[in-house]
Structure 1
Amino acid sequence: MRFRTRKIPERPSCGDELLSTASLGLTLGGRALLTGVRLSVRAGEVLALLGPNGAGKSTLLSVLAGDLPPTTGAVPLRGRPAADYHPAELAMQRALLPQTSALSFPFLAGEVVRMGRAPWAGTTRAAQDEAVVARAMAATESARFAERPFTALSGGERARVSLARVLAQSTPLLLLDEPTAALDLRHQELVLRVARERAAAGDAVVVVLHDLSLAAAYADRVLLLADGAPVADGPVAEVLRAPLLSEVYGHPVEVLAHPRTGSPLILPVRG
């Protein structure tokens, strides 16, 4: 059977291009949601997608994941169009964390995380399932409610379990849509540290964020979007500048240096 004999993909080397786009566009219902998007995602880096509400961040992430076919342009994943992958093969290459996770049945939290191991069933890596699941739940501090129904968890607990499922999938590309939205301060920092650790281990992480200071602290590069089009793409210090952010977000901001780390702190101007 193809499912059981498919080849396990090689791990990329740091710096390898995993995903790229050129003049990417998406039109739905006669409305242009994405226009002229160009980006490159490389192993070993965290790329933050930033922009105001309606900028196209989540839509772009869905296109990068292969869930939405672009109207123009293409999204080669490791040199092949996403449409050329068998679904099980695609699940070995990239893992997607959506904004919300809904389940039709009351699965236990631990069972939800184990779902992330489905792509590796019938392969030599299936023997690692329990160890990988345990590491993922420990990394997200969700092991203590492994035996609780997913539907009985708080929003923040569900978010951490869902992230653990993505980590357990063990793919070289992680696509995370607002992973910190439902989390308290401690776990916002934890999630971004996990993203950095995955990048340090050689994975590529693309993350949609609203907190600009979090992006500045943990991302290597930033793609700033407005009205579905790229405004700026580059290192954090080059993109997160007060005049540009003030214009894109329609509100004056100031950019300060963190007193200890030196990373940018983006604050709204008040009063």
Structure 2
Amino acid sequence: MRLRSRQIPERPSPGAELLAAEAVRLTLGGRELLAGVDVRVRAGEVLALLGPNGAGKSTLLSVLAGDLPPSSGAVRLLGRPLGSYPAAELALHRALLPQSSGLSFPFTAGEVVRMGRAPWAGTPAAAQDEQVVAHAMAATESARFAERPYTALSGGERARVSLARVLAQRAPLLLLDEPTAALDLRHQELVLKVARERAADGDAVVVVLHDLSLAAAYADRVLLLADGATVADGPVAEVLRAPLLSQVYGHPVEVLAHPRTGSPLVLPVRG
């Protein structure tokens, strides 16, 4: 199995199903956090997980990443049970960006990004480490503080470095938990553009977002959750409808068309 974990996996073909979750339930402390959720994740798409606070978005992402085993149901990566992957092999196939990642040692930002290359040690891909790290830091506009201690960075700078680490891992499946939460407008757009670029290159991206208009602009498909259950799953225009969103979020919204791109703009009704 150790030998198998060091093999370089083949890149998925466009539209291929990378990850599938079927009837996933999760109960912790007597509380049901996920209630029979189904998910399909395909190469070449950006899937946005949306829903109000407590809907189960981050919990579902943790299950899809293999960090939380479901109480029932099945999760398969490339047709194989997710739990059957050794950690080293799993890291070759999926990269996870959690909401927060604490480091107690004063690693530089560049060293943190290089940690993303650890799964490829001992493989031919390791020869590309420096090139991949440089590309990831350039893509996230974090190269200018590569030599600064990670602990000395601002929250937004840390978020960009953490994303660069995930990008440097070069896994075909990216799982991003609220990657725009600590970022200004420019870098929110940057992160979602990077996600779109990875999808255009054939990777699959699953991203938890709170900004519905950002999701509308960059996602191919939306999974809308409430109380741990799927409310809707489909193309952006089919899911981001005012009556449904008003019901799920408990606040009236209106959905307008962006005057230039035509993508939905989701706005709360005020006044």
Contact 1:180-1:188 within 8 A present in 2 as well: yes
Q: Does 1:198 align with 2:202?
A: no
Q: What letter corresponds to residue 127 of structure 1 in structure 2?
A: A
Alignment correspondent of 1:41: 41
Q: Does 1:154 align with 2:169?
A: no
Contact 1:4-1:122 within 8 A present in 2 as well: no
DSSP-derived class of the 1:34 partner: strand
Gaps of 5+ in 2: none
Alignment correspondent of 2:129: 129
CA deviations 1:175-216 (Å, max 9, x no partner) are 000000000000000000000000000000000000000000
CA displacement at 1:86 relative to structure 2: 1.3
Q: What letter corresponds to residue 187 of structure 2 in structure 1?
A: H
Q: Does 1:103 align with 2:103?
A: yes
Alignment correspondent of 1:76: 76
Q: Does 1:65 align with 2:65?
A: yes
Contact 1:97-1:175 within 8 A present in 2 as well: yes
- C-alpha change, 1:4 and 1:66, in structure 2 (3 Å) is closer
DSSP-derived class of the 1:73 partner: strand
DSSP-derived class of the 2:101 partner: coil
Alignment correspondent of 1:254: 254
Residue correspondences, number:
271
CA displacement at 1:36 relative to structure 2: 1.2
Aligned equivalents of 2:17 and 2:45: distance in 1?
10
Contact 2:5-2:89 within 8 A present in 1 as well: no
Gaps of 5+ in 1: none
Q: In the TM superposition, what are the counterparts of 1:222-241 in structure 2 within 5 Å? A: 222-241=222-241
Alignment correspondent of 2:7: 7
TM-score by length of 1: 0.99
RMSD: 1.1
Contact 2:6-2:120 within 8 A present in 1 as well: no
- C-alpha change, 1:13 and 1:150, in structure 2 (3 Å) is same
Aligned equivalents of 1:135 and 1:104: distance in 2?
26
Contact 1:27-1:33 within 8 A present in 2 as well: yes
Contact 1:4-1:123 within 8 A present in 2 as well: no
CA displacement at 1:5 relative to structure 2: 7.1
CA deviations 1:100-122 (Å, max 9, x no partner) are 01012110000000000000000
CA displacement at 1:2 relative to structure 2: 2.6
DSSP-derived class of the 2:192 partner: helix
Contact 1:3-1:88 within 8 A present in 2 as well: no
Aligned equivalents of 2:247 and 2:209: distance in 1?
18
Aligned equivalents of 1:155 and 1:269: distance in 2?
31
Alignment correspondent of 1:163: 163
Contact 1:4-1:121 within 8 A present in 2 as well: no
Q: What letter corresponds to residue 116 of structure 1 in structure 2?
A: G
CA deviations 1:203-251 (Å, max 9, x no partner) are 0000000000000000000000000000000000000000000000000
Alignment correspondent of 1:188: 188
Q: What letter corresponds to residue 120 of structure 2 in structure 1?
A: W
Alignment correspondent of 2:216: 216
Aligned equivalents of 1:79 and 1:186: distance in 2?
38
Q: Does 1:244 align with 2:241?
A: no
TM-score by length of 2: 0.99
Percent identity over the alignment? Answer: 85
